[in-house]
Each structure stands twice: as structure tokens, then as C-alpha cells.
Chains A and B, each alone.
Chain A
Amino acid sequence: MTLQLGEKHFSSAQPESAARRIVTFKVGDRTFGIDVGMVREIKGWQATTPLPHAAPHVRGVLNLRGVILAVYDLRTSIGLGTTDATATHVIVVVDIEDKVAGLLVDSVSDIVDVPVSAVRPAPDLERDEHGLIEGLVLLDTDIVALLDLAAVIRDGGVETPMAKLARAS
């Protein structure tokens, strides 16, 4: 697998004014992004050890140089089923709050700088993604959905029955 992490500048006219550097990656034909500062490293897929009775988007735990961290399947989080992970799949290792976690995605695409002003608030999306998307960025022809990682890891966007009940009442 080859990663081409070229840098595209969104606007060279104002490079420094409040730009966000975003790592983008793909799940299926959809593009997601997170701030580069949250990414600790990117590694190829590695078998995980399943955890008993964990939420569906928790793929299990793996050993990253002696640290045990949980891997979350982003595909499951956005309601597209389970990733059939192969050697070409990628785990994005992220720092989120005080924890280290892995995010299973299909591939990493790019690192881009976008001005903060180009980030649009997320419209009301389909139910499964509720709360996962922090904002949207238009990049060439792609729409990059910026992820709220804490939400991805917390409940993967799949609402628990209790949460549903709470919302319904």
C-alpha cells in the first residue's frame, strides 16, 4: 500500500491565518478528516483480540509497542456494517482525551490545510451519524466530514437503547 501524503494548500494567499491541518481518510467512498494534532501514528491493519460483549464498533484490542489500545471500526460507526479488514486497511492511532485509540479505516488520503472559515457546521445528518460529525469541508470535489472523535469512541454513533429511551421521553 502506498500513501501519498502530499500537501495541498487551500489558499496560499493567507496561509497562516487560523488554518486547520487535517488528515483525511476514506471509508468506502466517503472522506473523513481529523486534526493532524490528534494523530499519533498510522499503521497497517493488525489482528485484534475481541473483547467480550463490547459494543459492535469495538473491534478489539491490540498491542502497540507494549501499550494496549482498543480499535474502533469507523465503518460500523457510520452504519455501513463491519469492515472486512485486510493487510491494506489502515489503523489511525489517535490521542483522544487522555486515551490512545485506534480507528480502523480503508485508507489514508492526504494532509490538507483548510482555513477555519471554510469549515461549515454539520447539517442534520442521517440518524446513524448523529453527533459524530463536527463540521464539513469542501475540498475539490470531495466533502470531508470532520469527526468528533470523542463521540466516535464513546458510542460509535450507534445509540444505546437507554440513550434512545432517554431521547424519546
Chain B
Amino acid sequence: MDPLAELKQTFFQECEELLGALELRLQALDEGSTDPEDVNAAFRAIHSIKGGAGAFGCTELVAFAHVFEASLDHLRSGRVALEDAPFALFLRCSDAVADLVSAARNDEPARPRPDLLAALEQVGKAPGAAPAAAPPPPAAAPAPVAAPAPAADAPLGVAALGNLLAMVEAKTASPSNVDAGWGDEPAKPASTKPGRTIILRIAPESDLFRRVIEPRVVFASLPADDIVSIVCDLGQVPALETIDVSDCFMRFVVTMRTELSVEDICSRFDFTLATEEFQIEVVEDAAAAAPAPAATAGNAEVSGSVAADLSAILAKLGPASPSSEAAEAAPAAPVAVAAPVTAVVEAPAAKAAARAPANDAAAARQRTAVSVRVDLDRIDKLMNLVGEIVITQSMLVECVRSLPYDVYAKTAEGILTLSRQTRELQDHVMAVRAQPVKAVFQRMPRLVRELAQTLGKEVRLVLEGENTEVDKTIIEELADPLTHMIRNSMDHGLETPEDRIAAGKSPEGTIKLIAEHRAGRIVISVTDDGRGIGRDRLLAKARSRGLVGADEKLAPEEIDQLIFAAGLSTAEVISDVSGRGVGMDVVRRNVESLGGRISVDSEPGRGCKFTLALPLTLAVLEGMVIRCGADRYVIPIASVIETQHLASTPIEHLTFGQEVLRWRGEITPLHRLGAVMGSSGTRNENIIIIAETERGDNVGIAVDEIVGQQQVVVKSLEGNYGTVHGASAATILGDGLVALILDVDSMLRLAATGERPPATELKLAG
């Protein structure tokens, strides 16, 4: 892949995460959160999307994101109070951004959203909401700009580079006037304003632009009126031949006269700068105010200096300080120098880092290097390799058995250790593949929102356990069942607001989506507080379809399970949302094909709960190795109920050769594995395995021998061959040979249709 396409790919991946974050934060705000971090995070997310989109020339996306960002900025700056903010609109806009992103990703034309844009532009224009006098901050978010923004708003990354070039030119042209480049605010005498003088030293990491942050965005987060001067230090710029234009070499010294607290200033940089990238120094009032002219002179000096040296400022500002010492010591240890005149206040994290310098550098960098992006392919390869080791190890176990006892004992010990370590290694690799279910969960709020609108219902979605981790492959399979389950709850479960009020409930229904780990499985439940399953209607429907006999009596729980039967829908109106009676039936089949189970509990009038249990991985399963004739098979332990000797079980023969056995007082069909699967060699079929089918029925399977029980690595047969009836996949046993992993249901279908060899026997005329 060419590097740009790769970058673009990464950008879209990030977009997904950012969109998720945006939505969650907006959701929280909509639900009444007043945490400023929610506002900041939402702003950050849309800002990053805009930045990346600009770099890749996604103009529609940039235009929309820009307006969106601007309206969010009103919230951030407090121009629009949180309680007045139209979060429903913002949420719809975040959906629209998601659409734009996916359009850009698929190179499709994006649907213009003039309605939303117009609505966004009204944000902050409400009478009295914004004090007209407040000038916009220097750069980042001017008053909402109309749609043709893309042209005006050049791609951010490029703009940043442009700035850099401009700076370099400025430096060469008139070194004494660099400050003019930032001339929004002419430097003011610091003393004319109330507050304290604060000096900010900003030394961004060289990856600043790649984080899609521009210096002007950093400055924009400070009140424009408070900024006395901004001086850029270009001392770090390398020789032109070696320059990497995507690196940031600028350092800044910002002098402010402000009433803001240090913490407040820190928090304004929350999403632009890492804590180790800036330092805040408060110049004590006493020191600063007394020699006011000195301070002014100091500022003038600062503005004129290209390489604004902190020590110089300190020297000018604090006449009491022995300036020569300060000048020498300052670059190395500003804290020490500052002591006589200034109080140095660092960001909290930087403080911690300062206490344990050097050796805890990793912690200080936490913000920038918490994770590594790895191609899923590589992890899959790693997992395959672990699978190989599991196989090799079971091969070793088999080899060792034939050794003489004394050698065996020693070797066995080593192998035991190896097997423990292998298991551990496998756990760790699985942990790498594991992902929080958040990836799927965060798609649900949008679904609920849109459905609520379509159905005219009021719904609150509660997510719990989003950080529960499960294998990546399972994550991918979760989206469909969850969508169906939520649709079902929204459509059939929850009542309309009027009905809810009539039933004495709050007009707003609640759907809870909860994930947790339980007994080596991930269990996900969807609970609603709606009307529950209409058992009478469901049963009547099942009777009319012939699924239940006319005089058959069913327990209430049994009736509930009918919801999973094919072709049953009790919705009075068949809607777009659900109601064709295919949903839950399909969900059940998909879930079961993954080795999972789904169940339902319902309480009439109180609500309904669907529970989904899935294995944590599809890569390894616990299996029972069985032999039939010359062939071996693996049957998943999850399907096995019990095993017994044929001799202890009476077999009866029905017509057409069908055999049944009586097991726990029930008539259970018996199939001979060798006949169904066409095993080679002679068979004695002494052992019967009682297995469970997807429908919960039991079936007997006659085999020759149970070889053992072990973990097996699931290998696809589809990859290089195709579907094999009767088997879900294959695995490699200790001796390197392949064994099929039986799929009980598929085997039974095979038994019903194909115990005789397939169609090749057909005699044809001609």
C-alpha cells in the first residue's frame, strides 16, 4: 500500500474512535453532565477529525466539522451555557459527521446537510447568549462560518506548515519583529491590567503538527485580552537540508497578564499540549508590580528577542535577582533560578515527573505513547504460532509416553512446565487480540436515537461494562445480534409514552445494555422495562402456525422461548423496524453458530431481558477427541452432555433403520458416527455420547472410543477447501494429522439426508 493510503486508512480508523468518543461525551452532556472535560473531549474529537480530514482533502467533512467545532466552541468558552445547549442537534450532527466520514472513506458523494449547518450556525446567536463585545479568540474558532469554508479553511496540516515557513521567512527578513506575525493583540503594558503576570514557556514535541495541533490553536485557548506577547524561538530549526517539514521546531514564550489561576491555564492546554510540553511561571505581584516600568521594559525586550531566553526575562522582571547568576543557571534549572523572585508552578503531572526524573520518563510520556497500532494480521499470525506450539506440545506428550519409565518421569516434568507456559502464552496472545466491547456498544446509541424518532418513543439507553474485553473475532460477530435485540426491545418491548403513562410508568423507557465476563464466557444482556412478551398472542400465533399443538400446554417460560422460533412475530403492525418475524430466529442461529447461547426472561408488564452468552474466542476450544474406525474426530465439550457404554443403554429399532435409545426416561435418537461421516476401517461402536443440539434436544452418537480431552486449535476448512458437511472446522492433533471438529447439528442434517453416498451413484441414461 502506498504510504498516503496507509495514513488515510489510519485516519479513518482513528475517526471511528473519535466519533465514538464524540458521541459518548455528547450523550453524557445530554443527560445532564456538567463536567467540562466532556465538552473538551467532544471538541477535541471533532477538531481532530477536522484536522485529519483537511490533510486528506475531504472538503465536505472539513466544512461540516468546522461549523460543528465552532458551535461546540461556544460551549467550551462558556458563551453558551450547558443547560441551553441543543445536544439533540449536536448528536444528530455527530451522526452526520459519521455519515460524512464513511462517505469519504468509500469515496462516495456526501449528502449535504444544509439544515444541520443552518441550525448549528444559530448556536450562540440566541439573544443574549453571546456578549457581542467579546472578540473571538485569535484563531481557532471564529464565529460560525458558512458552508463554503473548505476553500477558506485550508487543510490544517498544510496551514501549519505554511505558518512555519512564514515564521522562517520572518526570521530572516526582520529578526527584531517576529512578534508581528501574531499581531492580533499589540503588546500592552502588563501593569494596566488587573491580575498577575504569568510567563508560559511552551516547548512542543516535534510531533505537534502530526497530532494535528497548530500553535495558534494553543494560543486560542487563552483569553486573547490577557496575552501580552508571544515570542517564537526558532533556535531549534535545523539546517534547511535536514529539515523535516512535518516536525515542529518552534518554542514559544507567552507573557500574560491575567486573573486566571494556574490550574485553569493548565486545563486549557488539556487537549493540545502534554504536561511536559509547557511550564507556567507566576511572577509574584509584589515583584512585578513594584517596578512596573521594568516589567514593561522586560516585555519589550522579550518581543524583540528571537531566542527569548527565560533567564533574560527573569533578569529584567526581577531587579532584586542577581542577574548574571540567573542567566547562567536558568536554562539548566529554571526552578532554582526562579526561587528568589518567582513562584514556579508546574502542571501536576510534570511535578510528579520532576520528583522522579529520568527513570520515570515513560510515565511522563504516557499521554503520547500509551498504545501501539498493530496490524491484525500480525496478531493472527502470532495466534497461529501459539496454536502450532499447542500442537507440537501435544505431539511431545504423545512421544514421551513410549519412553522407559525413568526417562519418562524426568521428561514429563519438563513437558508439564512447558504446557503451563504454553497456556500462559496463549492467554497473553488472546489478551492482545481482546478488545473492549465498546467498539460495538458505541454504535448502539445512534441506533436507539434513530429508532426512537421513527417509532415516536422516548428511550434512554444505559450502557454498562463497555470495557469488558472479548476476542476481536467475536466483536465483529456481535453487532448484528445486538442490533436485532435492541430493535426488538424498542419495537415490541417498549410502549409509547402515552401507554407508559397509562400503565403508571415514566414516559421514558429504559434499555440497559450490559456486558460482563462469567464462567469463561462473555455475557451480554439487553433489558427493557416495557410490556414484556405478550404470551397469549405469541402462543396463539404459534398455534395458528402449527408450531404448537392446539391442546398442547406450555409453561410460561416455554412460551417465551417461542420468540426464537422462525416466522413468529407478534407486532400488530409490520414495520420497517422489525416485525417480520425473522429477527430473533436469525439472531439465535448466528449466536449458536458461534458456540453461544441466547435466552429470554420476561415479566408481563415489567419488561423483558435477553441474555447472550458467547465464548471469549473462536480460535481455541476444549474438545473431546473420539475415534471411529480408523478416523478421529473432535467434538466440542460444550455439546457433550454425558458419555456411556452401549451395553448399559437399551437400543430399540424403529422402521427405516432408525435407532433410538432410552436415556433418562426419554426416547433419544441414536446415530452411528461412522455411518454418518463415512469413516474408514472396522468399527465396534461401543460408546455412546449424548450430545445437545442447538434446539436443546438430545441425541446419541455411537463411536468406538474416547481418546481424550484437550484444547484444540480451530483451523478453517473453508480457507483452502470449502464447506464440509458434518464438521464446523478442523484441527491438528498431536501426531500432526488433521481431525474434523464435529458440528452436531450439521451432522444430524447430514444424517437425515445423506447417510448414503451422495449423488455420484445416480444412473443416467445417455
The contact of B720 among A48, A100, A160, by CB within 8 Å, is: A100
Chain B CB within 10 Å, residue with most, of A62, A63, A65, A99: A63
Instruction: Tell me the chain B residues, 709-761 only, with Cβ under 8 Å from chain A.
Output: 715-717, 719-721, 724-727, 730, 732, 736-740, 750, 754, 757-760
Given contacts A61-B717, A66-B387, A68-B738, contact A51 B732 (CB under 8 A): no
**Shortest Cβ distance from residue A158 to the other chain B in the assembled complex, whole angstroms:** 8
A47 to B717, CA, bound (A): 17
**A101 lies within 8 A of B676 (CB):** no
Indicate if B120 sits at the interface (CB-CB under 8 A).
no
Chain B CB within 10 Å, residue with most, of A49, A54, A62, A165: A49
Instruction: Tell me the chain A residues, 112-159 only, with Cβ under 8 Å from chain B.
Output: 158
**B759 lies within 8 A of A160 (CB):** yes
Given contacts A49-B739, A68-B720, contact A61 B725 (CB under 8 A): no
**Shortest Cβ distance from residue A8 to the other chain B in the assembled complex, whole angstroms:** 33
A contact residues around B725 at 8 Å (CB): 52-53
A160 to B764, CA, bound (A): 11
**Shortest Cβ distance from residue A40 to the other chain B in the assembled complex, whole angstroms:** 12
A70 to B720, CA, bound (A): 7
Indicate if A50 sits at the interface (CB-CB under 8 A).
yes
**Shortest Cβ distance from residue A1 to the other chain B in the assembled complex, whole angstroms:** 20
A160 to B677, CA, bound (A): 21
Indicate if A69 sits at the interface (CB-CB under 8 A).
yes
**A68 lies within 8 A of B678 (CB):** no
A59-82 contact mask (Cβ, 8 Å, vs B): 1 or 0? 011110111111000000000000
**B719 lies within 8 A of A49 (CB):** no
Indicate if A3 sits at the interface (CB-CB under 8 A).
no
**B760 lies within 8 A of A56 (CB):** yes
**Shortest Cβ distance from residue A90 to the other chain B in the assembled complex, whole angstroms:** 18
Indicate if A161 sits at the interface (CB-CB under 8 A).
yes
**Shortest Cβ distance from residue B629 to the other chain A in the assembled complex, whole angstroms:** 10
B contact residues around A69 at 8 Å (CB): 720-721
- Shortest Cβ distance from B630 into A: residue: A50
B contact residues around A51 at 8 Å (CB): 721, 724, 740
**Shortest Cβ distance from residue A9 to the other chain B in the assembled complex, whole angstroms:** 35
**Shortest Cβ distance from residue A45 to the other chain B in the assembled complex, whole angstroms:** 13
A contact residues around B760 at 8 Å (CB): 55-56, 158, 160-161
- Shortest Cβ distance from B766 into A: residue: A168
Given contacts A52-B726, A53-B758, A63-B732, contact A99 B719 (CB under 8 A): yes
A69 to B721, CA, bound (A): 7
Instruction: Tell me the chain B residues, 652-690 only, with Cβ under 8 Å from chain A.
Output: 676-680
How many residues of chain B have a CB within 8 Å of chain A?
36
Interface of A is mostly: mixed
Chain B CB within 10 Å, residue with most, of A50, A52, A66: A52
**B738 lies within 8 A of A52 (CB):** no
- Shortest Cβ distance from A55 into B: residue: B760
**Shortest Cβ distance from residue A47 to the other chain B in the assembled complex, whole angstroms:** 6
B contact residues around A65 at 8 Å (CB): 388
B contact residues around A54 at 8 Å (CB): 724
**A53 lies within 8 A of B720 (CB):** no
B631-651 contact mask (Cβ, 8 Å, vs A): 1 or 0? 100000000000000000000
- Shortest Cβ distance from A64 into B: residue: B720
**Shortest Cβ distance from residue B377 to the other chain A in the assembled complex, whole angstroms:** 15
A63 to B730, CA, bound (A): 10
**B762 lies within 8 A of A63 (CB):** no
- Shortest Cβ distance from B732 into A: residue: A63
Chain B CB within 10 Å, residue with most, of A48, A54, A56: A54
B contact residues around A52 at 8 Å (CB): 676-678, 724-727, 740, 750
The contact of B678 among A50, A56, A67, by CB within 8 Å, is: A50
- Shortest Cβ distance from B757 into A: residue: A53
Indicate if B296 sits at the interface (CB-CB under 8 A).
no
Indicate if B321 sits at the interface (CB-CB under 8 A).
no
**B737 lies within 8 A of A63 (CB):** yes
The contact of A68 among B726, B730, B754, B766, by CB within 8 Å, is: B730
Indicate if B384 sits at the interface (CB-CB under 8 A).
yes
A contact residues around B758 at 8 Å (CB): 53
The contact of A63 among B677, B726, B738, by CB within 8 Å, is: B738
A48 to B740, CA, bound (A): 12
Chain B CB within 10 Å, residue with most, of A53, A67, A100: A53
**Shortest Cβ distance from residue A119 to the other chain B in the assembled complex, whole angstroms:** 29
**Shortest Cβ distance from residue A34 to the other chain B in the assembled complex, whole angstroms:** 17
A52 to B724, CA, bound (A): 7
- Shortest Cβ distance from B676 into A: residue: A52
A50 to B629, CA, bound (A): 12
A51 to B717, CA, bound (A): 10
- Shortest Cβ distance from A66 into B: residue: B388
**B762 lies within 8 A of A49 (CB):** no
The contact of A49 among B384, B631, B750, by CB within 8 Å, is: B631
A contact residues around B719 at 8 Å (CB): 67-68, 99
A contact residues around B388 at 8 Å (CB): 65-66
B contact residues around A61 at 8 Å (CB): 717, 721, 730, 738
A contact residues around B678 at 8 Å (CB): 50, 52-53
A62 to B715, CA, bound (A): 11
A49 to B732, CA, bound (A): 10
Instruction: Tell me the chain A residues, 81-111 only, with Cβ under 8 Å from chain B.
Output: 99-101
- Shortest Cβ distance from B678 into A: residue: A52
A61 to B758, CA, bound (A): 19
A143 to B391, CA, bound (A): 44
- Shortest Cβ distance from A56 into B: residue: B760
A55 to B721, CA, bound (A): 12
**Shortest Cβ distance from residue A114 to the other chain B in the assembled complex, whole angstroms:** 29
- Shortest Cβ distance from B739 into A: residue: A49
**B757 lies within 8 A of A49 (CB):** no
A contact residues around B732 at 8 Å (CB): 63, 66, 68
A160 to B383, CA, bound (A): 39
Q: 10 closest pairs, A vs B, by CB?
A: A49-B738, A70-B721, A52-B677, A69-B720, A161-B762, A63-B732, A99-B720, A52-B678, A68-B715, A61-B738
16 CB contacts below 8 A, A to B, read: A50-B678, A51-B740, A52-B677, A52-B726, A52-B727, A53-B757, A63-B736, A65-B388, A67-B715, A67-B720, A68-B716, A69-B720, A99-B720, A158-B760, A161-B759, A164-B764
Q: A52-B726, A62-B738, A162-B759 are in contact. List 18 more A-B contacts (CB 8 A).
A: A49-B631, A50-B678, A51-B721, A52-B724, A52-B725, A53-B725, A53-B757, A63-B737, A63-B738, A66-B732, A68-B719, A68-B720, A68-B721, A68-B732, A99-B721, A101-B720, A161-B762, A168-B766
Q: Which residues of A are at the interface with B, using a C-beta cutoff of 8 A?
A: 47-56, 60-63, 65-70, 99-101, 158, 160-162, 164-165, 168
